[in-house]
Amino acid sequence: MRAGYEQTETARSGDKKNSWITPYAAQYRWRLVAVIALGICATLCAVLLLFTSGFLISKSALRPENILMVYVPIVGVRAFGIFRAVFRYVERLAGHDAVLRILADQRVKLYRILEPQALFLRSRMQTGDVLGALAEDVERLQDIYLRTVFPAVTALVMYGGAVVTFGSIDLGFALWMGLYMLFLVAVLPAISLRVTWKLRVRLKRENAKLYTRLTDGVLGLGDWLASGRAEEFVRRQEEAEGQTDMIRLRLRQWTRWRDLAAQCVIGLMVVSVTLWAGSVASAGQLPAVMIAAFVLVLFPLTEALLPVGDAVEHIPQYRESMERLQHLEGEEHKPDQSGTEEADAAARAKGDKTSGLSGSNLVVGEQLGSPERTERALAQRIRLRIPPRLRADIQIDQVSYRYTPDAPCAVQEVSLHLPQGKRLAILGRSGGGKSTLLKLIQGALLPSAGNVIFNDLPVQSMGENITDVIAVLNQSPHLFDTTVANNLRIGRPHATDEEIQRVAAQVGLSDLIESLPQGYHTPMLETGLRFSGGERQRIALARVLLRETPVVIFDEPTVGLDPMTERALMRTILESMQGKTMIWVTHHLMGAERMDELVFMENGQITMQGSHEQLLAREERYRRLVELDRPGWSDLLTAELKLPPVTSK
């Protein structure tokens, strides 16, 4: 019974290894056999066409007395020429029909493997792997039939038929021709496979890496640009593509040498056949008109043998694609859970420490502070936290911008002053001009009117150096498919381990990272799927802090987070931004009382401006917004600030 069990397991293992080839070959076996038969018929017609043509040319050169003496060869040439084209066309049509049917079934199978992975948020599958499987691996499998199986089987049949045919005429001649053709159909392909095996495997793997690297880079292109390292990204991509091009160049060079060797052998075959046919004809054992027929027949015959060399060279690529697809199939419905238990446990522990934070806690201390007290606190933050080399005084003076000359102003006559350390919140509806204003501050757009000044210098004069002054954290920062440490170093490539650990502690992630099996060398998986949304934002925040820019723009970084995580992240941001100029773009009023100034934009203009306390005191619309954003606060505001009650409109 045990032996039977082992045989069953071995059979199952073999079935699994061939699950992308054997089932489809068995299902469409008669179609595949028909394609091979048509290919053999087409090649045989080509051989007979040249053989008959050589005989006809030689016979006609003897000037026969009657046209009927060459009529049969003439009909044969016409028939073989027509049937060769017909068989070749039908063979291509039937071959592509069979292969496309197999390819369609394989794509359905691949979809059934990939589709359940969408249900797992922490799937081990990466976009680059999926793109590689869809765009190359399955496509590569169709070449097994079109470029390897069909040509190889046809070549072997023609080789056997040619040896038997030559042997019926002269055994010695058949032996020499058999050795020549054996070199073309077996020896040269074996040498070619040995030479190119490692190169083909390496090329396949480099292409797969390019899919993953390019996918990762495109998704994180905004972070590369924001960090001022766009040129480095382009350089790395060009270096990777350059390595792939070098492999292709070496393969092309070998292909030229292989083709040269094959043509030399074919030349030797032509010379040998000419000498043999001439000697046999002079001995009277062969009609002289058959010399040209035997010589010309070599060209379609060797043409059928030469594709074998190119066919076997692709075996390494087939094997690599098979292994990748088998890996996807073997891991079906098994999302990667490695490291997530530790991360989740650490996150729950940290969540317990921060869960006591509530909206009312954020009001304590600064909500009711006077403007003078705010200015003193601001000055103190600047003196304590910001080195002199990291100061940035921003002056926005009557700035307007139009995207086209006849378009309305996206930003109209906006004036703001942001001394170092000021916290500014920009609020408003979508399309109100917030994003355009941010682009003007970053120098991505130049004002149509007015000026944006950094330390008495216009923003357009700073060029690419603006990335040394401003860092950006948006709502969906990209985390790359590498380690935690490397993701942090996107902010500063040469940061030391101590600096990385410092910023991780500053954003409250040091305990979580150190609890992981590999610590700071833990892979984050594609787009940082190993971590939760709040943890990913904290890592992106640490990356921003590592850059040590005096100005940080937050473009709705808490969108999509649950309220508890949002409040915890908000507190972390405010604590870590001490002394830095902070521009916060948002749609709701979370943390508004912690800002030095609030600006509401509508239709490109500032409609409300002031501190939280000032707007509460003089803007009933703002009080209504606070009540809508935080129901139940109207009574607290009325009692604490002695304001008139909020009226509904």
Q: Which domains does the chain have, with CATH numbers?
A: 16-336 (1.20.1560.10), 354-618 (3.40.50.300)
Identity of the highest mean pLDDT range in 219-233, 396-410, 457-471: 396-410
| Cα distance between residue 602 and residue 437, in whole Å | 12
pLDDT of residue 15: 47
- Whether the pLDDT of residue 342 is over 90: the answer is no
Cα-Cα-Cα-Cα dihedral of 370, 376, 379, 381, to 10°? Answer: -80
| Helix, strand, coil abundance in the chain, percent, nearest 5 | 65, 10, 25
For 170-200, give one letter per residue: b (16+ CB within 10 A) or e: eeebbebbbebbebbbbebbeebbebbeebb
Decide: 426 and 451 in contact? Cβ < 8 Å: no
pLDDT of residue 528: 57
Label residue 84 by pLDDT band (50, 70, 90): very high
pLDDT of residue 382: 38
Specify the range with the lowest mean pLDDT, choosing from 223-237, 544-558, 612-626.
223-237
Q: In whole numbers, what is the pLDDT of the chain averaged over residues?
A: 75
> Could you tell me which of 341, 345, 340, 346 has the C-alpha nearest to residue 530?
340
- Whether the pLDDT of residue 527 is over 90: the answer is no
Identity of the highest mean pLDDT range in 62-71, 254-263, 321-330, 634-643: 254-263
Label residue 550 by pLDDT band (50, 70, 90): confident
- Whether the pLDDT of residue 116 is over 90: the answer is no
pLDDT of residue 373: 45
pLDDT of residue 200: 79
pLDDT of residue 46: 92
- Whether the pLDDT of residue 62 is over 70: the answer is yes
What is the percent of the chain with per-residue pLDDT over 90, rounded to a whole number? 10
pLDDT of residue 509: 76
Q: Which two tokens stand for residue 112?
A: 């059934």
- Whether the pLDDT of residue 79 is over 90: the answer is yes
Residue whose pair of structure tokens reads 């935690």 in the numeric block: 484
pLDDT of residue 38: 94
The answer to pTM > 0.85 is no
| Cα distance between residue 227 and residue 611, in whole Å | 31
Residue whose pair of structure tokens reads 């926005």 in the numeric block: 396
pLDDT of residue 365: 33
Decide: 450 and 399 in contact? Cβ < 8 Å: yes
Whats the size of the chain, residue-wise? Answer: 649
pLDDT of residue 82: 94
Averaged over 71-96, what is the pLDDT? 91
DSSP collapsed to 3 states, 8-77: HHHHHHHHHHCCCCHHHHHHCHHHHHHHHHHHHHHHHHHHHHHHHHHHHHHHHHCCCCCHHHHHHHHHHH
pLDDT of residue 42: 93
> HSE of 107 in the Cβ direction (CA atoms, 13 Å)?
13
Label residue 81 by pLDDT band (50, 70, 90): very high
Averaged over 616-645, what is the pLDDT? 63
Longest dimension (CA), the chain: 128
| Cα distance between residue 113 and residue 118, in whole Å | 10
pLDDT of residue 128: 55
Label residue 496 by pLDDT band (50, 70, 90): confident
Label residue 484 by pLDDT band (50, 70, 90): confident
633 compared with 40, residue with greater pLDDT: 40
Identity of the highest mean pLDDT range in 307-321, 438-452, 490-504, 625-639: 438-452
Sign of CA dihedral 564, 565, 566, 570: positive
Averaged over 555-579, what is the pLDDT? 74
- Whether the pLDDT of residue 103 is over 50: the answer is yes
- Whether the pLDDT of residue 274 is over 70: the answer is yes
Decide: 562 and 357 in contact? Cβ < 8 Å: no
pLDDT of residue 44: 93
> HSE of 578 in the Cβ direction (CA atoms, 13 Å)?
12
Decide: 326 and 20 in contact? Cβ < 8 Å: yes
What is the percent of the chain with per-residue pLDDT over 70, rounded to a whole number? 73
Label residue 6 by pLDDT band (50, 70, 90): very low
Label residue 387 by pLDDT band (50, 70, 90): very low
